[in-house]
């Protein structure tokens, strides 16, 4: 094994651009899930407020 191979293998995984991109995409997906969850809750709340006067 050459010195350059040893140096490369000892690099932390955070230097790997593929892993960085993967983590970035996971973060974006989590943000999308949270946004969709909030939108769903807000829509449910609005629906409940609209239905409440009708049901009484």
In a domain, 22, yes or no: yes
In a domain, 9, yes or no: no
Find tokens 């010195």 and name the residue. 3
In a domain, 10, yes or no: no
In a domain, 26, yes or no: yes
Q: How many Å apart are CA 54 and CA 50, to the nearest integer?
A: 8
Number of compact structural domains in the chain: 1
Confidence (pLDDT) at 56? 61
Q: How many Å apart are CA 54 and CA 19, to the nearest integer?
A: 53
Confidence (pLDDT) at 8? 53
pLDDT per position as a tens digit, 9-50 = 555 555 677 777 788 888 889 999 999 999 999 999 999 999
Confidence (pLDDT) at 17? 75
């Amino acid at each position: 094994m050459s010195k350059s191979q040893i140096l490369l293998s000892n690099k932390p995984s955070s230097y790997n651009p593929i892993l960085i991109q993967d983590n970035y995409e996971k973060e974006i997906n989590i943000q999308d899930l949270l946004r969709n969850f909030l939108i769903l809750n807000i829509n449910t709340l609005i629906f409940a407020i609209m239905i409440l006067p009708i049901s009484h």
